[in-house]
A and B are shown apart, each in its own frame.
Chain A
Amino acid sequence: AQSVSQHNHHVILSEAASLELGCNYSYGGTVNLFWYVQYPGQHLQLLLKYFSGDPLVKGIKGFEAEFIKSKFSFNLRKPSVQWSDTAEYFCAASNFGNEKLTFGTGTRLTIIP
């Protein structure tokens, strides 16, 4: 069965700390991978996506993610977090050409000023 796992449920960091959120997927076929962010009171926004090519993808607001096929992982990183990064982060996957997204359970990120 297709699944996406996020093992960090709640991460608390101080401003300027580096961030890495884990995401593992179990998918057959060609997989598309996404990170979405949900700021408090706002709707889900796309941070970045991977379809093919360079496994290191850059997104908005200084975020990046690396696709490691051998590890079935797509971890999200940011070198220096800000208080405004406080939000819930969702990893998601779909098969190429398919609209159905499977989401991980989300990681709540709290940044302490």
Chain B
Amino acid sequence: KAGVTQTPRYLIKTRGQQVTLSCSPISGHRSVSWYQQTPGQGLQFLFEYFSETQRNKGNFPGRFSGRQFSNSRSEMNVSTLELGDSALYLCASSLGLAGGPVTQYFGPGTRLLVL
């Protein structure tokens, strides 16, 4: 079974621009979560989508948004980029079964550099 895939793998943007990152979950997985990884803050939860609805949200500003499509693929968008948004953005997928134990599997990440 193919793992979680993320595109693009690397991205360079300038301050003020916006960016869209894409994630395809493992086949059969319906939940997609996004995390930001930086040397200073570590791994932080951004949000989670299940059945095209945001189910969980972390403590990030409204510039960070996401969506999920009917095939469970997900995108996250960051508008008005700031230097501090430079990070590795990780996507994770899981079966998303309500009320059950959850195991997330991670993709390789998209490394975003904001200049």
A residues in contact (CB < 8 Å) with B: 32, 34, 36, 42-46, 49, 51-52, 90, 92, 94, 96-106
B94 near A43: Cβ-Cβ < 8 Å: no
Q: Which of B44, B45, B90, B96 has a CB less than 8 Å from the CB of A44?
A: B90
Complex Cα–Cα for A81 and B99 (A): 37
B102 near A97: Cβ-Cβ < 8 Å: yes
A51 near B107: Cβ-Cβ < 8 Å: no
When C-beta atoms are compared, the residue in chain A nearest to B6 turns out to be: A43
Complex Cα–Cα for A24 and B105 (A): 22
**Residues of B in contact, count (CB < 8 Å):** 28
Query: B114 contacts which chain A residues (CB < 8 A)?
Result: none
Q: Which of B35, B100, B103, B106 has a CB less than 8 Å from the CB of A97?
A: B100
Q: Measured between C-beta atoms, what is the minimum distance from B63 to chain A in Å? A: 20
Q: Measured between C-beta atoms, what is the minimum distance from B102 to chain A in Å? A: 6
Query: A43 contacts which chain B residues (CB < 8 A)?
Result: 90, 106-109
Q: Measured between C-beta atoms, what is the minimum distance from A68 to chain B in Å? A: 19
B100 near A44: Cβ-Cβ < 8 Å: no
B residues in contact (CB < 8 Å) with A: 31, 33, 35, 42-45, 48, 50, 55-56, 58, 90, 92, 94, 96, 98-109
Complex Cα–Cα for A99 and B99 (A): 10
Q: Measured between C-beta atoms, what is the minimum distance from B92 to chain A in Å? A: 8
Complex Cα–Cα for A94 and B42 (A): 16
A97 near B96: Cβ-Cβ < 8 Å: no
Q: Measured between C-beta atoms, what is the minimum distance from A14 to chain B in Å? A: 27
B106 near A100: Cβ-Cβ < 8 Å: no
Starting from the known contacts A97-B101, A100-B56, A106-B42, 20 additional A-B residue pairs (CB-CB under 8 Å) come to A34-B103, A42-B108, A43-B90, A43-B106, A43-B107, A44-B90, A45-B106, A51-B101, A94-B102, A97-B98, A97-B100, A99-B33, A99-B48, A99-B50, A99-B56, A99-B94, A99-B102, A100-B45, A103-B42, A103-B44
When C-beta atoms are compared, the residue in chain B nearest to A105 turns out to be: B42
A100 near B103: Cβ-Cβ < 8 Å: no
When C-beta atoms are compared, the residue in chain A nearest to B102 turns out to be: A99
